[in-house]
Structure 1
Amino acid sequence: MMDVTGVAMDSDKATPGRADLACPVCLGPAVEFMTLAARRYRRCPTCQARFLDPAHFLTAAEEHAYYLTHENTVDDPGYRRFLSKLADPLLARLPAQAQGLDYGCGPGPALAAMLQEAGHRVALYDPFFAPDPAPLSQTYDFVTCTEVAEHFHQPVTEFARLRALVRPGGWLAVMTCFQTEDARFERWQYRADPTHVVFYRDATFRHLAQDWGWRCEIPCKDVALLQRPSG
């Protein structure tokens, strides 16, 4: 069917027999959502994620080239203000001298610098800019994932890895622009980024936390803090 803007929108009927129609975030059955400029999107009624058909994913080389156009630097005051949306509530929950990992740190790991300046130790990992896998063999009091989860081609695999990196009582801190009204999806600037392939709502992270047996806090829009049980 068509919505009021003339965008093709599909029903809640799932197509059986297609493995790629499973939600990549929670593995629930996905349904058709809408098609924009020949790019097909689906949604998950279970966790409320929206995601791009994998047929439209960029290659790793194309992704890397696009990331190189970003101009975020460690000392950029504006970038630091942006990251403080996650850093401030996380810092309020951390013990002194905690050990953490900035997962998907990018070429300018400003968040890691901010957390280090607050007295914490922070390791770095990024598949393109800090690819040494050694930090992935340890566990941490906190793991940060800022403006990264929307790039995950296989979110269920990535979140399983992130969960395993967090010590009992520790935190997984995620920042990504939450998708809100479906009516805004077509013109949403965040969706237009060709490297953004999965879009979350606060309900998505609450669902994941419940499924994992973790606690979820949403201190502000676009930030989810998930705490692993201590026991």
Structure 2
Amino acid sequence: MVNLTCPLCTSQETGHFHRDRQRDYRRCAQCRLVFVDSSQHLSPDAEKAVYDLHQNRIDDPGYLNFLSRLALPLAGLLPPGSEGLDYGCGPGPALAGLLEGYGHRVKLYDPIYANRRELLQRQYDFVACTEVIEHFREPGAEFARLFGLIRPGGWLGIMTKLVIGADAFSRWHYKNDPTHIAFFSRPTLFWLAERYDCAIEFIGSDVIILQRNPHRRSR
């Protein structure tokens, strides 16, 4: 049975956005998230099998250059010696290595490869998510957790490809990865910034940095 509720903002105002041979995609009228219904998600084992095929080596210059598009601007915003969390780090700590090279300390968390739940019980100066949020099964709950991990005045750095429109989406290679189930656009990210009282900056086509209001009380 199809669930019509948006998994980010819980609005019931969702409608058909696109259909391909594999899946159906809906879009929320309130937060503009494009999402795949939970009935068409991979099982956790099948999802992990796809991730295990990735060849993202931590010494690959091309991969490091890709990650530097988030690491460099984020590191430039942070006070010296900041402590952060690489949320969804995968099997290799390449992003953490880049940020540590800029003088910051980075913890590693991933629900599959580094499931250290104790790291989710405290707050950090920054949290980084590179190619992670498009995998969120429950983005509303995940973002509540993410922003709860960040101290007031702290930073959330995101890398993900953004939805432009329905026509471009129909030809978009990014949707063809079966583990990609939540697709964000600028309006969706502006909605998140307002929801969590953050300043937001877009860098290039796929890097987004949000800063929590420094006067917002910690939970």
Whether TM exceeds 0.5 here: the answer is: yes
Specify which of 63, 66, 73 is matched with residue 47 of structure 2: 63
Deviation of 1:38 (Å): 5.1
- What is the CA distance between 1:170 and its match in structure 2? 0.1
TM-superposed CA distance for 1:20, in Å, is: 2.3
**In structure 1, the residue corresponding to 2:147 is in which secondary structure?**
helix
Q: Is the 8 A contact 1:102 1:123 kept in 2?
A: yes
Match of 1:7 in 2: none
2:38 is equivalent to residue 21 of structure 1: no
Tell me how far apart the structure 2 counterparts of residues 230 and 184 of structure 1 sit (CA, whole Å). 37
CA distance in 1, matches of 2:21, 2:118: 41
Secondary structure in 1 aligned to 2:125? strand
Letter in structure 2 aligned against 1:20: N
Aligned length: 214
- The 2-side partners of 1:188 and 1:19 are apart by 24
The answer (yes or no) to whether the contact 2:18–2:166 under 8 Å persists in 1 is no
| Distance (Å, rounded) in 1 between the aligned partners of 2:96 and 2:74 | 12
Query: Could you tell me which of 40, 55, 79 is aligned with 1:95?
Result: 79
Q: Tell which structure's C-alpha radius of gyration is larger.
A: 1
Gaps of 5+ in 2: none
Tell me if 1:32 matches 2:16: yes
User: How high is the sequence identity, in percent, across the aligned residues?
Assistant: 47
Rounded Cα–Cα distance in structure 2 between residues aligned with 1:68 and 1:202: 30
1:80 equivalenced with 2:75 (yes/no): no
Structure 1 portions without partners, runs of 5+ = 1-17
Aligned residue number for residue 90 of structure 2: 106
Q: What is the DSSP-based 3-state SS (H/G/I as helix, E as strand, rest coil) of the residue aligned with 1:32?
A: strand
2:126 aligns with 142
Q: Distance in 2 between matches of 1:164 and 1:208?
A: 13
Of 45, 48, 52 in structure 1, the residue corresponding to residue 29 of structure 2 is: 45
| TM-score normalized with structure 2 length | 0.94
> How far off its partner does 1:19 sit?
8.5
Partner residue in 2 for 1:203: 187
Give the aligned partner of residue 175 of structure 1. Answer: 159
